[in-house]
Each structure stands twice: as C-alpha cells, then as structure tokens.
Amino acid sequence: MKTAAASSSYAFRTTNNKEYESDDRHLMPNNEQTTEQQAKRGVRKGNAKLIWRFLKGSKYLFLGSILASAVSSLADMLDPQIIRAAIDNAIGGKPSEFPVWVNDLVDRIGGFAYLGQHLWIMAAAILAVALLRVAASYCSTVIGTKASETLVKTMRDTLFGHIERLPFSWHMKNHTGDIIQRCTSDVDRVRRFVAEQLTSVLRISVYLVLSLYFMFSMNTGLTLISIVPLPFILLYSVLFRKQMDAGFRDCDENEGKVSAMVQENLTGVRVVRAFGREKAETDRFEKQNEYYTSLWVKMGRLLGRFFSTQDFLSGVQILLVFVFGAVFAIHDRMTPGEYVAFISYNSMLIRPIRMLGRMISEMSKAGVSIGRIGYIMDAEEEKDREGAGEAPMDRDIHFEHITFAYENCPDILHDISFDIKAGTTLGILGGTGSGKSTLMLLLDRMYDLEPGCGTIRIGDTDIRDIRSDYLRDNISMVLQEPFLFSRTISENIGIASEGITLEEIRSAAQAACLDDTVTKFTQSYDTFVGERGVTLSGGQKQRAAIARALTKNAPIMIFDDSLSAVDTETDAKIRSALQERFGTATIILISHRITTLSKADRIIVLENGRITEQGTPDELKSNGGIYQRIYEIQSGVREGRHITAPGTGGKEVAR
C-alpha cells in the first residue's frame, strides 16, 4: 500500500534542491498561469483605484493624521538648529550664519551673547519643540487609529456585501478558507499599508525634503557627498522588490491553503472521525504546513540578504559624511555646530532611506494583498438581464431542450424537455449524479443557461426575464443537504420569511412533523442549534429545512430528496400535510422512494442526464422500465430483502 507521501502526484524542488512532495498541484510555483489564476494570486491592475474606493470615509482622517505627523517631523528638524546655535553662537567663538529672521528673533531676545549667558532660554526652546512634537504625535496617533479602523470597517463591509451578492457558481469555485483569509489577513495587511506605510512614505518625504534643505543651507559640498550613495541604496531596494513580490505571493497563497485545510477538516470532522482519517489528515496538514514554513524560511534568507546589504550601504554613507565632515571642520569649511547638526540631519536622511527599503518590502506584500482582495472585488455580482421583472408564477413550467455543463466539465444534462402543469406534482426519479439537483438549481437560476442551450419558461416568460430575487422568493426549495445556522430553531425556520410570527413557524413545523420533537426540548423553539445543526439528527434537520421552506407559501415548491432521512410514516404524514396546505402549488418531488413518488401526477426518470421514461405512476408501473423495476423491488413483488436498485446509482434500497 502506498503511503500518503508516496501517493502524491508530483514533486517540486526548493532552492536547496530538497525534494518535497505534495498532492496539491496548485502548490507548485507555475510560470504558465492563466489570467484567472494570476488574478486569483493577486496579480492585477487598478490596485490604487481599489484602495481609493476603500478610503471613502477615512480620507480626511488620514490627511489629518499625516499633517500632524508632518508637524512632528518638523519639530524633529528644529532640535539640531538649536544645538548648532548653542555650540557656535552662544558658547563657542565661531558663529555660524542663520537666516535674517532667526537673527532678528534672537536680537529681540537680547542677542546670541545674552543667550550664552542665559542657556536656560535654549533649554526652554528645546522643551517647547519637544512639547510641540508630543502634541503632534498624539494627534497623529489618535486620528490615525480612527482613520485606519474606519478603513478596515469599510473594507470588511464592502467585501462582505459583495461576497453576499456574488453568484452561486463563484462560491462553488472558491475555497471558503481562502476567501476568509483574504477578508482577514489581507484586509489587515492593506490597513497596515495605508495606515503605517503610506503615512510613513509621506512622513519620509517631509524628512527628506527638510533635512536636505537644512543640509544644503549649511554645506553644499558635504551634502553632495552624502547624496552620492543614496541612489545605489534605492536602486538596490527597487531591484529586490520583484523577487520579494513573488516570494510573498507564494507565502500568502499557501497560508490560504493551510487555512482552507483547517476549515475543511473542522467542517468535515464527522467524516474524519468516522473513517479514522485523523492520522492521514494530520499528515496531509503537516506536509502542507511544512511547505508553507519552508517558504517563510526561504523568505527570511532573502530578507536577511536584503537588510544586511542595506545596512552595509548606509554604513558606508554615514562613514563618508563623518570623515569628510571632520575634514571640512578641521579646515574651517564648516563650524563645529554645523558639523554636529549635519551629522544629525544625515542620520535623519539615512533613516528614511533605509526605511524606504523595508517599506518597499512591506508595500510589495500589501500590493499582493490588495490584489488578492481585488480578485474578490473584480468578480461580477449576480445581475439580472436588462428588462427582467416579475411574472405570474402559478403557471405551467416548461423545460425546453436543456443542455448544461458545469464550468470546464463535460455535459451533464443532454437536451432535456418536459412540462409541469401548474398546480400538479412532478416526481423525479434517477440515480445519483443523473442531474436531478442540477435541474432544480437551473430552475432557481443558481446557474444560468448559456445561449443556445435551451430555455426554462414559467408560463410564457423565460426565467432569465424574471428578476432572480423575485423568482427565488416564489420558489421554495428544500435542498438535498439541509443547512442550519448556529441560531435558534425558530430563527432557522423563520429565516426565509421576514416578520414571521411564532404561530406561523409552529404551523410550518407541524406540517413538517417537527413540532412534537421541538416542544419536547427544554427551551422549545428557542433551543440553540449548534454549529451546522449538530445537535439535531439528520431527519430532524431535514424536517427543519422543510418547515423553513413551508413558511414561504410559495407557488412553486421543490423537495430535493428531502424526505430521505425521515421514516416512511413521517414521509406520508408530511406529504398529506403538504397536500392540504398547498393544494394549488406546483410541487417537484425528487425521491428514491416509490411510495413518495406514487402520489405524483407525473413522473420523469432521469438517467445520465437524459429522460428515459415519463408518464403517470400507473403508466410507468407496467412499462418495463426502471420505474417498474424499482417499484417491484420496493413493493416486495421481487425477491430479496436488501437489493441494490438499478437507476439509484447503487444506493441500497430497503424493501
């Protein structure tokens, strides 16, 4: 028997040539990607536009925070000037030159000599600057936090609203864990980018401009020397960016896969336990996790190289200024005060340049994140075609020449045509995978038919000309797999109908044979259903889902194998309650149980996406087809207690 690792479908190499194996082909860095894959990975245009859109509501707050931060940067720039004046003009004997307005100001106080005798005035000036800095930085933090939290809120709201409106097919295509990661970690990274990095870039620009201004004003030659290494430092950062982009994207993508795996395992915990898959799943997780870790370690090496080279280059620049400045000061080309101030400004200059490198790495991460969020935002919301409106729903339903395939899959339904008379019940029988649920999803317009692949009409109206919300409001569907939210039973049943009363909920539950069960619970209808409804049995969940559908009083009702988990007696009870409540509704019943189907007005039998039989139950009972065979097996005409019925996809049918 193959081990989990040995059964993997491909191997890939890391930089140290160690071979890892994985059964997920998406893990492999792939150069030949389709545009969709690229979009999914976060490679997209228009990132700035998207950020601008998210900034609605927080733009001015950010502006305020940036202004406050600029004031604080300006305060930083004043200290060296005060120190320079103290060293040169007040204490030392080599006065350095200040702009006229500074000299005027000092003269009004009493001149530099006076300041030299009253050094406390200089100290007071330093204190005043410090207070200004404290006030500005306080404002910047408070306003900045408000801005960044507003931004995150806008992003989350926009994303959630958008995801709610995305077509069902999009949800089927994308992993929940991955989407959640995009809405959490990626959103946070974009927040950090705007709130921290972008603000810092502006702050850095203020630093750069002001320090260069002061440096030039003191010594042009030394300033030029200090500038020479800067383009190299910057160029190095920019060149590194590309490598980092790819690296971070890989890391993010694989983080998404790790979360998706955890999420899937939590959702499928019953299957994992029931089949004793804990070890296999843990191995699978560890492999993915190890690969993910190896990507970050690789990233660490890359970043280590980057930062140390940066530090080395900045060290060289500082050394140049230190040495040349000293030489200039010795040769009287600058005063000692100017030298000290210059060194201060240079460190202020080099700090942002070094930060710029780090910033670029952070920014490239944010670029990937905004791209990954953009992948969600770019997905088109579900939209009705122009002119779509409302139409009477209590009419005959016509399926005409329906051919359908899921994306990138072979055809599942082949040229299917049948009619359902208004107010009658249609039964559908067919093996698993024959396309029954797909047909119902098409009627509910969860998927739209491609042009030329047939039409579904209600009365005379093509369902594509009916607004999807109106259509779905008028079709009450009990899905094959009932889903309950982690809310109370009454909330779960009433979720489909706004403003519903408890009486109505109970009446629906009675029809679904659930009321007796629920009233036995200590908290009755207020009983909290655990996550995914685990505190209810399969049959109870199905009945809750049926009750939910019954609250809608819709003219079209679909029961997709919805009575499979209830016993035959309850099945009969529910059907007769249905008959009573919805005498006029058009009902579609999908079932494997002949007793369920026998009361239908007409029945169609589906096999591999084609209709192989149709007629009334009486006609089909004796026409020698699948229906007859199953009828005979289930009614005991044929021998055998447990027989695998043909046409039910190997499903075991009890006699």
Ligand X SMILES: Nc1ncnc2c1ncn2[C@@H]1O[C@H](COP(=O)(O)OP(=O)(O)O)[C@@H](O)[C@H]1O
Give every CB contact of residue 341 below 8 A, 6+ residues apart in sequence: 80, 81, 83, 84, 214, 218
* Least distance between ligand X and beta carbon 458 (Å): 21
522 is written with which tokens?
Answer: 């200590």
Cβ distance to ligand X smaller for residue 433 or 530: 433
- Of the candidates 5, 113, 172, 297, which one interacts with ligand X according to CB under 6 A? 172
| Listed ranges 128-136, 160-168, 304-312, 474-482: which one lies at the site for Mg ion (CB under 5 A) | 474-482
Question: For 329-395, what is the HEC assignment?
Answer: HHCCCCCHHHHHHHHHHHHHHHHHHHHHHHHHHHHHHHHHHHHHHHHHHHCCCCCCCCCCECCCCCC
How far apart are the C-alpha atoms of 629 and 647, rounded to whole Å? 9
Amino acid at 591: S
Q: Give the one entry of Mg ion, ligand X, none that residue 60 binds, where binding means its C-beta sits below a cut-off of 5 to 8 angstroms depending on kind.
A: none
Residue 560, strand partner residues: 590
* Least distance between Mg ion and beta carbon 549 (Å): 16
Helices (H), 465-605: 468-474, 489-494, 502-511, 515-520, 538-550, 568-581, 594-597
Residue 480 in the binding site for Mg ion (CB under 5 A): yes
Reading across the β-sheet that carries 425-430, which strands appear in turn? 475-478, 556-560, 586-590, 425-430, 602-607, 610-615
Number of residues that bind Mg ion (CB under 5 A): 2
Q: Give the one entry of Mg ion, ligand X, none that residue 412 binds, where binding means its C-beta sits below a cut-off of 5 to 8 angstroms depending on kind.
A: ligand X
* Least distance between Mg ion and beta carbon 479 (Å): 9
Reading across the β-sheet that carries 455-458, which strands appear in turn? 411-420, 397-405, 455-458, 461-462
Residue 185 in the binding site for Mg ion (CB under 5 A): no
C-alpha dihedral over 73, 79, 84, 85, to 10 degrees?
Answer: 120
* Least distance between ligand X and beta carbon 172 (Å): 4
- Distance of CA 53 to CAs 5, 46, 363, 417, 582, Å? 45, 11, 18, 47, 48
Q: Give the one entry of ligand X, Mg ion, none that residue 433 binds, where binding means its C-beta sits below a cut-off of 5 to 8 angstroms depending on kind.
A: ligand X
Q: Give the one entry of Mg ion, ligand X, none that residue 435 binds, where binding means its C-beta sits below a cut-off of 5 to 8 angstroms depending on kind.
A: ligand X
Residue 437 in the binding site for Mg ion (CB under 5 A): yes
Q: Give the one entry of Mg ion, ligand X, none that residue 389 binds, where binding means its C-beta sits below a cut-off of 5 to 8 angstroms depending on kind.
A: none
Residue 562 in the binding site for Mg ion (CB under 5 A): no
Pattern 116-155, binding to ligand X, x per CB under 6 A?
----------------------------------------
Number of residues that bind ligand X (CB under 6 A): 12
* Least distance between ligand X and beta carbon 560 (Å): 7
* Least distance between ligand X and beta carbon 595 (Å): 20
Cβ distance to ligand X smaller for residue 62 or 404: 404
461 is written with which tokens?
Answer: 């109206």
How far apart are the C-alpha atoms of 361 and 332, rounded to whole Å? 42
* Least distance between Mg ion and beta carbon 552 (Å): 21
Pattern 407-446, binding to ligand X, x per CB under 6 A?
--x--x-----------------x-xxxxxxx--------
How far apart are the C-alpha atoms of 426 and 606, rounded to whole Å? 13
With beta carbons less than 8 A apart as the criterion, state whether 360 and 36 touch.
no
Cβ distance to Mg ion smaller for residue 157 or 411: 411
- Taking the alpha carbons at both ends of the chain, their separation in whole angstroms is 38
Residue 468 in the binding site for ligand X (CB under 6 A): no
Contacting residues toward Mg ion, per CB under 5 A: 437, 480
Contacting residues toward ligand X, per CB under 6 A: 172, 406, 409, 412, 430, 432-438
